[in-house]
Structure 1
Amino acid sequence: MKTTKRVVVTAMGAVTSQGAGVEALWHGVRAGKVAIDRVRGLPTEGCATDIGGEVTAPLPPAGYDYRADLGARGHERAVDLALAAAHEAMSAHGLPDLPAEQWGVAIGSCNGGTRSAERVLRRAGRKPLTVDDARELLLLSPHTIAEILASAFGLKGPVLSVNTACASGAHALAHAVEAIRAGRAQAFLVGGTDAFTETAYAGFSSLQSLSRRPAAPYSRHRDGLSLGEGSGMLVLAEESVARTAGAPVLAELLGYGLSADGHHATAPHPRGAGAARAIRGALRTSGLTVEDVPYINGHGTGTPKNDSAESNAVRAALGQAAEKVALSSVKSMIGHLLGAAGAVEAIVTVSALEEQLAPPTAGFTEPDPRCGLDAVPGNARPMTMDVALSNNFAFAGANAAVAFSRPGARAALPATPWEERVVVTGIGVLTPSGGSPEELWRAFRSGALAGVRENGLRLARLDVDPGSSMAPGERRRVDRLGRLAIVSSRRALEDARLTPDERVGVVLGSGLGPMRSTEDFLRPVLEEGAAAGNPAIFPNTVYNAAAGQIAMALGAKGPTSTAAAAHAAGASALSIAHDMLRTGTADAVLCPAVDDLTDTAAEAYRRLPLTGGPSGRHYGLAEGGITLVLERESSARARGALVLGELLGHGTAYDAAGAGRWDPRGDGLYRAMRKALADAGTGPEELTAVWANAAGIPAVDRPEERALRRLGTRAEVLTPKRVLGEPVGAGAHLGVALAVEERRRGGAAGPVLINSSSLGGTHIALVLRPGTEF
């Protein structure tokens, strides 16, 4: 067992409808001020309501011109909100001497840069995209926001982005605290951001979820949610580092719990079963008992189903102690900030602990017997509390609970079983080059380029419906991305001979996310108005919809998350899953990497100077899905599983050369490789192969070559993407599948290195020992 490092909050920043700054946020919510009013910055004609928690305060100057680096014409409001909140937090963290390499960034967002995508699609209509359009679409990715923040402050450690819909900000906090405890960075800028979008207003309106009046969570006569926009940022640091630097310590982040409902795309489990597992997980990892929790900052959206399900979850997790707990919702005052909610509500929870004051639930009329817990109606309530929880639950059944305490209030934390080894026990493949690792390996070794040229860009597309092997009822309302995820995951489970349950999680990576569903939902809205929003499509417009569909179809209800790190998304998902398993958060994790190439996505790649035209003449793209089953070795051995390989370690680093840019010397990738080797306890001389990121783009491939020369390895460098095409976010999974098959066919024994890069300066290296048993 390993002593668990303590992680503290040293600074915070916020921008909400209450105003710019944490002080404005806390002053408003402690006073019960409802900052939900008529929306003026976004058209709401045809929507069920025209109110929301809109940010109207002037934003301070960004201090960094991300548009110039990306070559984008327009501002992205989600980015501007994030920069404003981050500047407040980064100006007060008290860690001035901490090296840039020891700073990480973890950002959650539900909509990412959807405002930019809406602008592009409205401007382009059905016409081909221009170069300017393609550059502006780069802002759609949540990971671009994370890289912009890292560039703005020159941070060179791990850069993570997650998109678990309305729980994104809470997931970012969970992954950041795990990374600090694992020694991957000493401090993190972590938070969430989301701006009002036509997609969100039309979508929630189509689901009949919006209220015409400010939301009244937990009240008998509540009738829906109010949308909000904004950003919240926190600086987390290892406690010993913060104390040594003399940094302010506002609170301690004790632990977290994550779970999947596996119940419904938009509705929570009515008894709150999944949410209760997340709350219990937060208590367990924090070393808390049910009697230790006097206050919970609730998810409290104001919809009939969500509020009653959350109340049931609190009762299921806390038992009789729930009747003594105060459970209030600040969404009644600022609206539902979607991916930013978890971060902003964490800031409110920390402020509540600092001031020993539970904020109220505004607009509360009378208790609903289906809820029944103490909603702190009317006015803020002074109360003694050492500990508080913050709940966030999301579409696709992604649940998160985070536990905070006053500084020094908890004497000890549970030790972490970090010595646990992580093994690969199953591989599921669904790609244009084959439906198994054997077929993939043969296609790679043949040297025949996958795909065909379509208007100058080589594309490898699946020529079959990925859901053709699914039952008709199972295919219902599952989009193409979800089908890729379910089918490849089912194949991986069959290969592992594993039956999923509540100890089996899902961590999915996707570089492009749900572009097809987003386009299918948005185009009618832009052409005909909000009333054209299709409620059957809208739930699939969030990145984590595919992970939720896996949980529903296959029964994996353990911790779930979705990494959105562009072309390094799969590698990021594997890194998150690896650390979950080493800390005992799950026994096994299904880790799919899936991407679906839409015509719009292909056209954007075609137009970008990096991947299209002369510089991209040797570049190819592939779609599909590859799923790996990762397990704690003890669990795999206990059930007699065949071990296909061991994931020894990983490392992530950022170039900080500007958004969408990379260091031509390969410095970030070199640091990522060194970190991965150190994590694995392996030297460069021990490597038997390097499965490279190289995909046929000289400006990206040459820095990797320089980094490998600097690393000093003599191992063979293999470049499968140049043959099979770049599978967008599944590059690391491709490397693992091929390395395992290479070893099975008599390849050299020993560790291999697998590299992935986001194309925006984030680099992730994995060390795998394939073929420990056959």
Structure 2
Amino acid sequence: MNSDPAPGRTADDHAEPQAPAPAEQPRAPGVAIVGVGAVTALGPTARDLWQGARAGRVEIRPVQGVDMSGLDTKLGGEVDTPVHRHGRAYRRPAQFRERALDLAIVAAEEALSALPPDLADPEHFAVVLGTCNGGLRSAREWMRAVHAGEAPDPLLAQMVTPQALAESVAAAFGLRGAVLGVNTACASGSTAIGLAADLLRHGRAEAVLVGGTDAFCDVIFAGFNALQALAAQPARPYSADREGLSLGEGSGMLVLVRSDLAERRGLRTLTEVAGYGLSADGFHATAPHPEGEGAEAAIRAALRHAGVAARDIAYVNGHGTGTAKNDPAESRALLRVLGPERAGRTPVSSTKATIGHLLGAAGAVEAIVTAHALAEQVAPPTAGYTTPDPDCPLDYVPGDARPMAPGVAVSTNFGFGGANAALVLAPRGHRPPLPLLDDIVVTGVAVTMPSGNDVAALWAAYEQGSEPGAVEDGMRLARVDFDPEPHLNRRDRRRMDRLGILSVVTAAKALTAAGLEPDSAAARPVGVVFGTGTGPSEALERFTLPVLDDGVRAADPSVFPNTVYNQAAGQIALHLGLRGPTSTLSVGHATGAAVVGHSADLLAAGHADAVLCTVTDTLTPYVARAYADAGAASPRAVGAPPDGRFVLAEGSVALVFERRSAALARGAHVLGSILGYGMASDASKARLWDPRGRGLERAMRAALHDASLDAAELGGVWLAAAGLDAADRAESAALDRLFADAGTPPLHGPKRVLGEPMGAGAALTLALALHHVRRGGAPALVNSSSLGGTHISIAVQGPDPDHNHHQDNDHDHDHEGRA
């Protein structure tokens, strides 16, 4: 995989004096924040947000747009700006708007407004959107209508997922680079910014529109109320008299570019994203580790990634929810990171005291506040802080804002499922160290699918053309049959849903296959990257439908934590003893490829030596109904002729990726390697494929460029095709152009036989591709496409460690004797 290092200064002009690094020490490219936009309870702009936060102005007030009957609070940080007047169209029912999407578009308009329209080629302008709840209002209305026996507009179900929002934002602004939906609960916004910075540093984008969004919905209030987490008065983070959190809504969006581009174009840089860190608590579904171990790990990882020390921290924008458990755990983590001397004189404040907890948008909005604080060297206060708490012994900036010392700033966010994220922001000119480059190899693969619970069985079913599934309610559905007992006992499964159980079982098999014993010392630093296309549908249905019928009193606190997309990642970390970096992506039917690319970039950036990547989707009646209403699900019986639609399947695929040096050092068996990957989007306002396949062609060409391959070197292509005619024809057109001068290699379409496992599809085809090239052979491409026009292609190679396609273009493509 290619890297594009850029030299830079070795010490910040704001940091404490330190000896310059040797001239030969490589430095990673800087990442500049050149545009920001926000819409929050403090107002419709980022300037309103910063000025309100700096003044400590509390805008947590009685909520008007949601029925608050029966709740422990009537308050929230509500946006009272008419956000639907932005004028940018997106695909929706005529009389319905998705508020989370409207909020994101308004913030994005502001972030882009001051930038030159030719800032970057639209084909290299990416979008990364973090969200906790996605289009929950659309999901609620869809479920309500179906539950009531009505016939809802199919477009409602197509606005539910994080990827639906991300693709709609990209289309609204005509951005055709990578488009990714991130969902790590309340850490989503911060995680998205870190991922966006990686895209720039790895040369996968010229510019990235990145941020977070979440909107109020009665379902969310019911959930937090059931957990008894809501305060009757505005939240008072870190204060001894705190009662709980206040929810907020809104969006924050940032435009990131490489610092050298910002300098060439004369763009104003607010601050730079110097580094980020992620970690998994592996402790509890909703509560943090009481000593803040996961939070500490994320902060230390961010400092290491940025190449700065704890003594360089001049300000911390804390997670600061105002809850009894979160604030002390975070404070203990910061106390250990800063050390006893600096802890008492490093300002820490929480923006949530002014606007509430914006869930998936919190990290993005708070990064904007942190960037302004650093740029103006002013630490904003923690509004409402009145009484010191012995469990929270830091300087929380009570009263008014005050000047802060030169240095870097840290912004922290922690979410359900034990997902922790920290950002390090630095003034212009900072260049983080470049990690040592290494190949990314695969050392473990496991599948749990309708056609087989191991790769050999899956391969046999594919070769024999064995079609799984049966017709249910007019749709052909393929379901998984598996035994969780070897990996999860009945007690462990008591509060888990099918998505979590299936994910843990498959992840455990992959970890074992890689020679990493679950819950061992060797497994502890392994990262967890999870992907799901349709998300926690079972839990969302189980939680929401009783609330629709009987109101807040029917909200089940044992089910609510499972309604976040990253809950399965948390279960994997908890049950398998993994504490490395964790992230969750939801990119529709391209999810499997997206998590593979994200895992490879995490390893390349030095965040971990090994990452366990798991992709899972399950079938529920509402999921199947959504596909049927969209005209995508096939009703044909087993053995019937194709009908231009696909057979829906559920399933889970897990792969272990490692840096080659780490894998060889522990004697792991290498199954293959990831040579590179490419991403592109059609950016269609209709959220459909380009019928000419131009987006997928760009993704394939980008993957070949990243892998330093020519099309003629490929030994095969594993297709995204799953039987849906419109998408399959577009892929065929793209392949015709790609191989116009090279001759088309063998094409493999396993999903046409085994069914379309939604987000797990690309991981399924990758597992089969690795099985096919296990004796060496020529490199192959693995394609994937979301139903909204996002395309990702991965270049994969067989396991021979001596094979070097970069230097020897005359090698034999048919080595049968390789181990």
**Cα offset, 1:433, TM superposition:** 0.6
Question: In the TM superposition, what whole-angstrom CA distance separates every residue of 1:364-423 from its partner, at most 9, and x where no partner exists?
Answer: 111100011000011111223331110000001000000111223x3x421222x31000
* Aligned match of 2:28: 4
Alignment of 1:535-684 (within 5 A): 535-611=557-633, 617-684=644-711
Q: Aligned pair in 2 of structure 1 residues 430, 72: CA closer, same or farther (>3 Å)?
A: farther
CA distance in 2, matches of 1:233, 1:557: 29
Say whether residues 1:343 and 2:361 are aligned partners.
no
**Cα offset, 1:290, TM superposition:** 1.1
* Aligned match of 2:295: 275
Say whether residues 1:263 and 2:283 are aligned partners.
yes
Alignment of 1:156-555 (within 5 A): 156-320=176-340, 321-408=342-429, 410=430, 412-417=431-436, 419-464=437-482, 466=484, 469-499=487-517, 500-555=522-577
Task: Indicate the SS of the match to 1:240.
Answer: helix
CA distance in 2, matches of 1:143, 1:616: 27
CA distance in 2, matches of 1:432, 1:478: 21
Query: One-letter code of the match for 1:213?
Result: Q
Alignment of 1:649-728 (within 5 A): 649-712=676-739, 713-728=743-758
Task: Indicate the SS of the match to 1:20.
Answer: coil
8 Å CA contact 2:450, 2:478 repeated in 1: yes
Stretch of structure 1 that moved more, 25-34 or 612-621? 612-621
Question: In the TM superposition, what whole-angstrom CA distance separates every residue of 1:146-202 from its partner, at most 9, and x where no partner exists?
Answer: 101110111111111110000000000000000100000011000000001112101
Query: One-letter code of the match for 2:168?
Result: I
**Cα offset, 1:72, TM superposition:** 6.2
Question: In the TM superposition, what whole-angstrom CA distance separates every residue of 1:291-337 from its partner, at most 9, and x where no partner exists?
Answer: 10021000000001000000011112222322221110010010000
Task: Indicate the SS of the match to 1:714.
Answer: coil
* Aligned match of 2:159: 139
8 Å CA contact 1:72, 1:136 repeated in 2: no
Alignment of 1:752-767 (within 5 A): 752-767=780-795
CA distance in 2, matches of 1:103, 1:310: 35
Question: In the TM superposition, what whole-angstrom CA distance separates every residue of 1:273-298 from its partner, at most 9, and x where no partner exists?
Answer: 01001000111111111110021000
8 Å CA contact 2:414, 2:421 repeated in 1: yes
CA distance in 2, matches of 1:575, 1:439: 26
Stretch of structure 1 that moved more, 398-407 or 91-100? 91-100
8 Å CA contact 1:457, 1:617 repeated in 2: no
CA distance in 1, matches of 2:80, 2:227: 27
Counterpart selection for 2:798 from 762, 770, 773: 770
Alignment of 1:90-129 (within 5 A): 90-94=112-116, 96-127=118-149
CA distance in 2, matches of 1:558, 1:490: 16
- Structure 2 alignment gaps of length 5 or more: 1-24, 637-641, 801-817
Task: Indicate the SS of the match to 2:344.
Answer: helix
Task: Indicate the SS of the match to 1:19.
Answer: coil
Task: Indicate the SS of the match to 1:61.
Answer: helix
Task: Indicate the SS of the match to 1:734.
Answer: helix
**Cα offset, 1:65, TM superposition:** 1.4
Task: Indicate the SS of the match to 1:106.
Answer: strand
8 Å CA contact 1:9, 1:237 repeated in 2: yes
Question: In the TM superposition, what whole-angstrom CA distance separates every residue of 1:567-590 from its partner, at most 9, and x where no partner exists?
Answer: 111111111000011121101000
Task: Indicate the SS of the match to 2:782.
Answer: strand
Say whether residues 1:47 and 2:71 are aligned partners.
yes
Which has a greater percent of helix?
A: 1
Query: One-letter code of the match for 1:370?
Result: D
Question: In the TM superposition, what whole-angstrom CA distance separates every residue of 1:455-512 from its partner, at most 9, and x where no partner exists?
Answer: 3322101234656752123212111100111000000011111135342100011001
8 Å CA contact 1:262, 1:552 repeated in 2: yes
CA distance in 1, matches of 2:795, 2:166: 25
Question: In the TM superposition, what whole-angstrom CA distance separates every residue of 1:92-140 from its partner, at most 9, and x where no partner exists?
Answer: 134624211121100000010001111222233253x63x443201111
Stretch of structure 1 that moved more, 277-286 or 118-127? 118-127
**Cα offset, 1:735, TM superposition:** 1.2
Q: Aligned pair in 2 of structure 1 residues 583, 457: CA closer, same or farther (>3 Å)?
A: same
Task: Indicate the SS of the match to 1:755.
Answer: strand
8 Å CA contact 1:457, 1:619 repeated in 2: no
Task: Indicate the SS of the match to 2:361.
Answer: helix
Question: In the TM superposition, what whole-angstrom CA distance separates every residue of 1:595-632 from its partner, at most 9, and x where no partner exists?
Answer: 01101100111111344689965410110111000011
How many positions carry a matched residue from both structures?
765
Q: Aligned pair in 2 of structure 1 residues 699, 617: CA closer, same or farther (>3 Å)?
A: closer
**Cα offset, 1:771, TM superposition:** 3.7
- With normalisation by structure 1, the TM-score equals 0.97
- With normalisation by structure 2, the TM-score equals 0.91
* Aligned match of 2:9: none
Task: Indicate the SS of the match to 1:699.
Answer: helix
Task: Indicate the SS of the match to 1:146.
Answer: helix
Task: Indicate the SS of the match to 1:741.
Answer: helix
Query: One-letter code of the match for 2:456?
Result: E
8 Å CA contact 1:46, 1:531 repeated in 2: yes
8 Å CA contact 2:476, 2:634 repeated in 1: no
Query: One-letter code of the match for 1:685?
Result: A
Say whether residues 1:749 and 2:777 are aligned partners.
yes
- Structure 1 alignment gaps of length 5 or more: none
8 Å CA contact 1:607, 1:613 repeated in 2: no
8 Å CA contact 1:167, 1:400 repeated in 2: yes
CA distance in 2, matches of 1:157, 1:645: 28
CA distance in 2, matches of 1:555, 1:425: 19
CA distance in 1, matches of 2:364, 2:515: 38
CA distance in 1, matches of 2:289, 2:643: 47
Stretch of structure 1 that moved more, 288-297 or 456-465? 456-465
Counterpart selection for 2:759 from 710, 729, 745: 729
CA distance in 2, matches of 1:286, 1:3: 10
CA distance in 1, matches of 2:75, 2:483: 41
CA distance in 2, matches of 1:738, 1:105: 30
- Counting aligned pairs with the same residue, the percent is 51
CA distance in 2, matches of 1:766, 1:27: 45
8 Å CA contact 1:211, 1:225 repeated in 2: yes
CA distance in 2, matches of 1:103, 1:301: 34
